[in-house]
Chain A
Amino acid sequence: MRATSKLLPMVALLAVSLLAQTSSQTAPTPSKPQPTDVPRLISMPWQQYAVYWTAEPGWKTEIHLRNNLPSQGLTVIPALRSADGTESALAAITISPNDVAMVDLGAVITSAAPQLAGEYGSIVFRYTAPVERALSAAVMIQLPGTPIEFHLDAFPQSPRAMTGGREGIWWLPRESVQDWLVLANTSGSSLTALLTLYESDGKSLRKKLTLGPRQTTRLSVLALVKRGGLVGSFGGISIDAGPRAADLDSAHFMYDEANGFLAQMKMFGRDSDATVGQRSLTNPQWTIRAPMLPLTNPDPALGLPAGTTLKPAVFLRNASPNAYTAKVTFNWRSGMITGKRMLAVPLQPHATARLDIAELQAEGTIPATAQWAYVNIAAPIKPDDLLAVATSFDSTLRFGAQTPFTDQSANHWAGGIWEVDPNHDTLIAIGNAGNTALRARIMFYYDSGQSKYLLERTLAPDEQAWVDVGQLVANQAPDTNGKTIPPSVMSGSYDVNSVTDKPTDGIFEGKLVIDKTYGYAVHGCLNCCPEYIRLTVTPNPLNLAVGGTSSPAAVGTNVCTGQQETASVASYGTGNPSVATGGLLITGAGAGSTTYFASVLASAQDPEGRCKMSTEQSGPGTVNVSCAIPTNFSTQETNLPDGTLSFQYTFQSSSGNPNDLAKCQVGETVFYPGTANPYVWPLPMVQSTPNPTPLYGAGNNLFISDKNGPPSSYKQPYSYAHFQATQRLQWECPCYNNGNYNNFVPDITIDRKVFQDTDGKWKYQITKSGYTNTVVLP
Chain B
Amino acid sequence: MSSRVKSLFLAVCFLLNFQSNVKSQAQGGDCHSCSVVERALHDFQGIKVGMARRDVEKFFVVAGGMTFRNHTSYVYRDCEYLRVDVDFEANRETENAFSPDDKITGTSQIVVAYPAKD
A interface with B by C-beta (< 8 Å): 644, 648, 650, 666-668, 670, 677-678, 687-695, 697-698, 700-712, 725, 727, 750
**Of B13-21, B40-48, B93-101, which binds chain A?**
B93-101
Q: How far is the CA of A666 from the CA of B98 in the complex (A)?
A: 17
B118 touches A707 (CB 8 A): yes
Contact check, A703 vs B95: say whether CB atoms are below 8 A apart.
Answer: yes
Knowing that A697-B71, A727-B118 are A-B contacts, what are 18 other residue pairs whose CB atoms are under 8 Å apart, sorted by A's residue number? A666-B68, A668-B118, A670-B65, A670-B116, A687-B115, A689-B115, A690-B116, A694-B3, A697-B70, A702-B96, A703-B69, A703-B98, A704-B69, A705-B72, A706-B66, A707-B65, A711-B117, A750-B118
**Complex contact A703–B71 (CB within 8 A):** no
Q: Across the interface, which residues of B come within 8 angstroms of A710, CB to CB?
A: 117
Closest to A687 in B: B117
For B1-21 the 0/1 string (1 means CB < 8 A from A) is: 101001000000000000000
> Contacts of B116 on A, CB cut-off 8 Å?
670, 689-690, 693, 695
Q: Which residues of A contact B72 (CB under 8 A)?
A: 705
Minimum C-beta distance from A291 to chain B (A)? 49
Residues in B whose Cβ lies below 8 Å from that of A694: 3
How far does the Cβ of A647 sit from chain B's closest Cβ, in whole Å? 9
**Which residues 78-118 of B sit at the A interface, judged by CB distance below 8 A?**
80, 95-98, 113-118
Question: How long is the Cα–Cα vector from A660 to B31 in the complex, in angstroms?
Answer: 51
Report the Cα distance A690→B98, complex, angstroms.
25
- CB-CB under 8 A from B70, the residues of chain A are 697-698, 700-701
Main secondary structure of the interface of A (DSSP, over half): strand
Q: Would you call B50 an interface residue if the criterion is a C-beta within 8 Å of the partner chain's C-beta atoms?
A: no
Contacts of B95 in A (CB 8 A): 702-703
Chain B residue at minimum C-beta to C-beta distance from A750: B118
Closest to A695 in B: B66
A689 touching B69 in the complex, CB below 8 Å, given contacts A707-B62, A708-B64, A709-B64: no
Q: Are A678 and B114 in contact (CB under 8 A)?
A: yes
What are 27 residue pairs bridging A and B, where the CB atoms are less than 8 Å apart in the complex? A644-B64, A667-B68, A677-B1, A677-B3, A687-B117, A689-B115, A690-B3, A690-B6, A693-B116, A693-B117, A693-B118, A695-B65, A695-B73, A697-B71, A698-B68, A701-B68, A703-B96, A704-B67, A704-B68, A704-B69, A705-B72, A706-B66, A707-B64, A708-B64, A709-B64, A709-B117, A727-B118
Q: Give the distance to chain B from A312, nearest Cβ to Cβ, in Å.
A: 60
Total residues of chain B contacting the partner, CB 8 A: 26
B residues near A, CB below 8 A? 1, 3, 6, 62-73, 80, 95-98, 113-118
Contacts of A670 in B (CB 8 A): 65, 116, 118
Give the chain B neighbours of A705 by CB distance below 8 A.
62, 66-68, 72, 98
A661 to B80, CA, bound (A): 32
Residues of A within 8 A of B118 (CB): 668, 670, 693, 706-709, 725, 727, 750
- How many Å from the CB of B30 to the closest CB on chain A? 25
Chain B contacts of A697 at CB under 8 A?
66, 68, 70-71
Contacts of B64 in A (CB 8 A): 644, 707-709
Known: A648-B96, A677-B3, A711-B117. A693 touches B68 (CB 8 A): no
Q: Find chain A residues with CB under 8 A from B96 CB.
A: 648, 650, 702-703
CA distance A702 to B98 in the complex (A): 11
| C-alpha gap A691/B69 in the complex (Å) | 24
**With A and B bound together, what is the CA distance between A648 and B97 in angstroms?**
8
How far apart sit A725 and B95, CA to CA, in the bound complex (Å)?
31
- CB closest chain-A residue, reference B7: A690
> When the two chains form their complex, are residues B66 and A690 in contact, meaning their CB atoms are under 8 A apart?
no
Question: B residues within 8 A CB of A667?
Answer: 66, 68
Complex: A650 Cα to B95 Cα, angstroms: 10
A277 to B70, CA, bound (A): 49
Least distance between A706 CB and chain B CB atoms (Å)? 5
B78 to chain A, nearest CB (A): 12
By beta carbon, the residue of chain B nearest A644 is B64
The reply to whether B69 and A693 form a contact with Cβ atoms under 8 Å apart is no
List, in ascending order, chain B residues with CB within 8 A of A703's CB.
69, 95-98
Chain B residues near A750 (CB-CB < 8 A):
118
Measured in the bound complex, the distance between the Cα atoms of B68 and A706 in whole Å is 9
B106 to chain A, nearest CB (A): 14
Closest 6 CB pairs of A and B: A697-B68, A690-B3, A701-B68, A695-B66, A709-B64, A703-B96
Q: In the complex the two chains form, what is the Cα distance from A697 to B80 in whole Å?
A: 21
Chain B residues near A689 (CB, 8 Å)?
A: 114-117
* Chain B residues within 8 Å of A650, by CB: 96
Chain A residues with CB below 8 A from B98, complex form: 703, 705
Question: Which residues of the other chain, A, contact B73 by a CB distance below 8 angstroms?
Answer: 695
Given A708-B117, A708-B118, is A668 in contact with B68 using a C-beta cutoff of 8 Å?
no
- Distance (whole angstroms) from the CB of A663 to the closest CB of chain B: 14
- Quote the shortest CB–CB distance from B114 to chain A (angstroms): 5
Which residue of A666, A678, A703, A727 has the most chain B CB atoms within 10 A of its CB atom? A703
**Which residues on A sit within 8 Å (CB–CB) of B66?**
667-668, 695, 697, 704-706
CA distance A727 to B115 in the complex (A): 16
Known A-B contacts A693-B3, A698-B70; A706 and B65 likewise in contact (beta carbons under 8 Å)? yes
Residues on the A chain within 8 Å of B63, using CB: 707
Q: List chain B residues, Cβ under 8 A from A668.
A: 65-66, 118
Within the assembled complex, what's the spacing in Å between the Cα atoms of A744 and B1?
Answer: 28
| Complex Cα–Cα for A709 and B96 (A) | 21
Question: How near does chain B come to A570, taking the closest CB pair, in angstroms?
Answer: 31
Contacts of A702 in B (CB 8 A): 95-96
Cα A249 to Cα B69 in complex, Å, equals 71
Find the B residue at minimum CB distance from A636: B96
Q: Which residues of A contact B68 (CB under 8 A)?
A: 666-667, 697-698, 701, 704-705
Look across to chain B and name the residue whose beta carbon is closest to the beta carbon of A691. Answer: B3
- A-side contacts of B80, CB under 8 Å: 712
With A677-B3, A707-B64, A708-B64 in contact, is A701–B114 under 8 Å at CB?
no
**Do the beta carbons of B65 and A693 come within 8 Å of each other?**
yes
**Central interface residue in B1, B62, B64, B96, by most chain A CB within 10 Å:** B64
Residues of B within 8 A of A687 (CB): 115, 117
CA A703 to CA B66, docked complex, whole Å: 11
Query: How many angstroms from the CA of A705 to the CA of B67 in the assembled complex?
Result: 5
Complex Cα distance A688/B117, Å? 9
Docked pose: A311 CA to B43 CA in angstroms? 80
A750 and B6 CA atoms in complex are apart in Å by 25
Chain A: which residue is nearest B65 at the CB level?
A: A695
Q: How far is the CB of A678 from chain B (nearest CB, A)?
A: 5
**Cα–Cα, bound, A709→B63 (Å):** 10
Interface centre among A692, A708, A750 (most CB of B within 10 A): A708
Task: Report the minimal beta-carbon distance from A661 to chain B, rounded to whole angstroms.
Answer: 12
| Bound CA span A690–B97, Å | 27
Min C-beta distance of A705 to chain B, whole Å: 5
CA distance A42 to B19 in the complex (A): 83
Instruction: Name the distance in Å between A351's Cβ and chain B's nearest Cβ.
Output: 67
Q: In this complex, what residue of B is CB-closest to A768?
A: B118
- Contact call B69/A688, Cβ cutoff below 8 A: no
In whole angstroms, what is the CA distance A284 to B113 when docked?
63
Q: How far is the CB of B89 from chain A (nearest CB, A)?
A: 12
> Are A701 and B71 touching (Cβ within 8 A)?
yes
In the complex, what's the smallest C-beta–C-beta distance from A712 to chain B, in angstroms? Answer: 7
For B114, list chain A residues within 8 Å (CB). 678, 688-690
- Min C-beta distance of B13 to chain A, whole Å: 15
Question: Is there an interface contact between B117 and A695, defined as CB atoms closer than 8 Å?
Answer: no
| Complex-state Cα separation, A704 to B116, whole angstroms | 15
CA distance A725 to B116 in the complex (A): 13
User: Bound state CA distance, A625 and B68, in angstroms?
Assistant: 28
Q: Which of B67, B96, B116 has the most CB of A within 10 A?
A: B116
Residue in chain A with minimal CB distance to B118: A708
Q: What residues of chain A lie closer than 8 Å to B3, measured between beta carbons?
A: 677-678, 690-694
In-complex Cβ contact of B67 among A644, A695, A698, A727 (8 A)? A695
The interface residues of chain B lying within 8 Å CB-to-CB of A709 are: 64, 117-118
Q: Return the chain A residue nearest B94 by Cβ.
A: A703
